[in-house]
Amino acid sequence: MLSKLFKKRKLQIFAPVNGEIIPLDQVPDPVFSQKMLGEGIAIMPVQGNIHAPIDGTVVLVSDTKHAIGLRSSDGTEILIHVGLETVSLKGKGFTVLVTAGDKVSVGQSLIEVDWDYIREHAKSIITPIVITNSAERNVQCEVIKEGIMGETVLMTVSAK
């Protein structure tokens, strides 16, 4: 009864790094562009490290340090995949600052990235931010050109 009185809460997902915003369908990797992992957006970083785009819990840190998974209190699951074909770097160029189970806040540093190394040794520095359980959510991606870490809202997510 009371739930009808309240509007559905929307989760705001902030830019995890400064850069140019790229629609997911324009990412030069079919896993992301065909949304096999879920709905989302990508960013072409210009500087800085990867920061938490939400308040939540770290649920995954890849062994190769190129990807991190977060879960918000509403159950939304977010994957930040730093660069394309970066798994082959075997962790070089990345310093992870958190571990699975850690609570994080918007703007908290998650991964230090050597962008020059990534640019030189990987396919691309394009960084997809994907809602891995988007089939269960309403995801609205903002139509913007540039993201500022911790300030720019990239997506809003609510329960279906």
Residue 106 DSSP SS3: coil
Compute how many other C-beta atoms are within 10 angstroms of the C-beta atom of residue 114.
Answer: 15
Active site residue 51: no
Q: Which of 51, 66, 81, 121 is catalytic?
A: 81
Decide: 66 and 79 in contact? Cβ < 8 Å. Answer: no
Just list the catalytic residues. 81
